[in-house]
Amino acid sequence: MIAALTVVTAACGAAPTTQTQTTTGGVNAATATSAADFGGLDKLVEAAKKEGNLHVIALPPDWANYGEIIKKFEEKYGIKIESENPDASSADEINAVKTRKGQDRAPDVLDVGQAFGFSGAKEGLYAAYKVQSWDKIPDGQKDPNGLWVNDYGGYVSIGCDAKKIGTCPKTFADLLKPEYKGKVALNGNPNKSGSAFAGVWAASLGQGGSLDDIAPGVQFFKKLKDVGNFNPVESTPATVEKGETPISIDWDYLNAGYREQFLPKGLDFQVAVPSDGVYAQYYVQAINKDAPHPAAARLWMEFLYSAEGQNLWLKGGARPVLMPSMTADGTIDKALADKLPPVEGEAKFPTEDQVTKAKDDLAKTWDAAVAG
| pLDDT tens-digit readout, 282-301 | 999 999 999 999 999 999 99
Map out the domains of the chain as residue ranges. Answer: 30-152+281-338, 154-280+347-370
- Assess whether the region 30-152+281-338 and the region 154-280+347-370 belong to the same CATH fold: yes
Domain 154-280+347-370: CATH architecture, name and number where available: 3-Layer(aba) Sandwich (3.40)
pLDDT tens readout for residues 233-261: 999 999 999 999 999 999 999 998 888 88
Task: Quote the pLDDT of residue 125.
Answer: 98
DSSP code string of 256-317: HHHHHHHGGGT--EEEE--TT--BEEEEEEEEETT-SSHHHHHHHHHHHTSHHHHHHHHHTT
Phi and psi for 103 in degrees, rounded to 5? Answer: -115, 150
Rounded to an integer, what distance in angstroms lies between the CA atom of residue 314 and that of residue 309?
Answer: 9
Q: Please state which CATH class domain 30-152+281-338 belongs to.
A: alpha beta
Provide the 8-state DSSP code for 367: I
Query: By the 8 A CB rule, do 195 and 251 touch?
Result: yes
Q: What is the pLDDT of residue 4?
A: 24
pLDDT in the model for residue 11: 31
Q: Per-residue pLDDT for 358 more than 70? A: yes
Residue 165's pLDDT is 97
Query: 21 falls in which pLDDT band (50, 70, 90)?
Result: low
Residue 12 has pLDDT above 60, yes or no: no
**pLDDT tens digits for range 261-270:** 899 999 999 9
**With left for phi above 0 and alpha for psi between -120 and 50, is residue 58 left, alpha or beta?**
left
Instruction: Identify which has the larger pLDDT, 133 or 87.
Output: 133
**How large is the C-alpha radius of gyration of the chain?**
20
Residue closest to 72 by CA, chosen among 315, 270, 268: 315
| Chain centroid offset of residue 167 CA | 30
Average pLDDT, the chain: 91
Residue 52: CB atoms within 10 Å:
13
CB 245 within 8 A of CB 159: no
Asked whether residue 8 carries a pLDDT value surpassing 80, the answer given is: no
Please report the pLDDT score of residue 246 as a whole number.
Answer: 97
